[in-house]
Structure 1
C-alpha cells in the first residue's frame, strides 16, 4: 500500500458518493468499534511496540560503506531518535506529576461543585494541550531522523542491520504518536513502510493490529461519505490484517484464531 494511493482514496471519498446499501450501513453502524472488541488494547508483552521504547547504541558501520558520510548520518539519526524517546518520556512524566499535584490543590474560592468541575475540566484541557505539544515536538525529531537516514544511498548500508533497526525504531515511535493523534492515514502508510523494511517486522503482531484498527476507522469514514467502493476496499484490508494478527499473536491452531477466522468468514 503506497502513500500516494492512500491520499487518492481519501480524495475520492469527498468527490465520489456511491451510496452504500442501507443494510451495509446499518450493519456497520451497529458494530461500531467491533475490531477493538476482539483485539488486545495493548502490544503483547516483550514487544518493541511496548511502553519502554528501544534505544540503539552507536554502532560502527563504516566498514560496511563506501560513502564516507554514511556513518555520520546514521549516528546523527540515532541521536535524534534517542533524544525523541528521552524527551517524550521525561516530558510525559513531568506532565503526569503536575497532573497528580494539581489534584491536591485546594481553591477556596470554588464554593460550588460546578465551579470545581469547570476548574477540573480546564486543568485537564491544559494537560492535554501540553501532551499534544510534547508529541508534536517528538514527531519533529523523528522526522528529522528519517530525513537523515533517507540521505544514505549506499546499498550496503541500507541493507545492514544497524540501518534497518534504526529506521524500524524511528517508524515505530512515529506510528505510536500518529495513532495518539488519530491520524489513521499516517498510521496506515508508515505501518506498511515498517512491514516492508524486513521480514522480521512483518512477523510482528502489533503492526497488523494497528492496521486492522486503522482500516476499520477508514471503513467508517467511507460509510459516512457513502462511498461503496472504498467501504469494501477498506473492509477487506481490515479483515486481511485482522487474520494476520490472529495468526501471529495466537497461532493458527488456537481457538482464538478459529473464532476470529469464523467471524471474518461471516463478513465481520
Structure 2
C-alpha cells in the first residue's frame, strides 16, 4: 500500500483480462468482413448463440454468411464457456447462430460472444507472444523496509499489529478491494485524524522521490496520504487527499528535507469516525 520510489519508476498498472485483448483483436481484424464481431448472448442453449437486438437479427441475410466462423463464449465472471464454429447454414437470420460442437458449458443470458475467422487458439497464442515481449516499467521500492509479518500486500489473516496505528482501528477488508484478495480498513476512533503508518524508512536528505497509494473512503468521509519527516519531528513533507467513495490514486513527487534521515507515510482518516481503505 505505502511506498516511494525514484522519479523514473512507475506503479504497476491494472492488466486487462485476456478476453479484453481477444475481443479488441477480433474487432480490428474482422470488422470490415463481419457485420457482427461481438455482442451479448441472451440464449441458454449450448448449441447456439442468440442475439435478437443486434445485426444478427436481419431477415434478408444469407443463412450461409457465417458458415465456419469461430465463436467464443465468455461469462460475466470472465470464465469461458468454450469455443465452437457456426454450422453450414447456421445463421437463422432472426438472431441465432447454430454452432457445433456444443459449448462446453451451458450459456447464460448476458455472456459475451466473439466471432473470428481464425481459430481462437491461434489468436490466443499471438496475444500471449506479444504480452510476453511487452515489458511494463518496473517498480523499485525505496528501501528494503518490510512491514511486520511481510504483509506489504495486505493479505495476511490480520493486519492489526502488522501496521502501526494511532487513534484508529485496523482490520483486513475483503469486499472493498482494489486488487488482490484484501485491503486495509482504517476506522478513526472518534477523535479525528486517526491513522495507520508503515514505519520509519531510512532515506538520504535532498532526495527527489514520489509516493503513490490507492485509497477509497466511505461516502461522506475523507482521507489524507501524508509523507512525514521523522527526523524533523514528524513535520509534513507532502499530502494528497480524497473524499471519493471509489478507488482513487493518490500520488505526488516530493523532496526529502535537508538533514532528513528517516521518513514515514500515514494513511489518515481525517475526521471523527471516518472509515478509509487502502
Higher RCO (CA 8 Å, separation ≥ 6 residues): 1
TM-score (norm 1): 0.23
- Hey, which of these two has a bigger chunk of strand by percent? 2
Larger radius of gyration: 2
Normalised by the length of structure 2, the TM-score is 0.23
| Structure with greater helix share of residues | 1
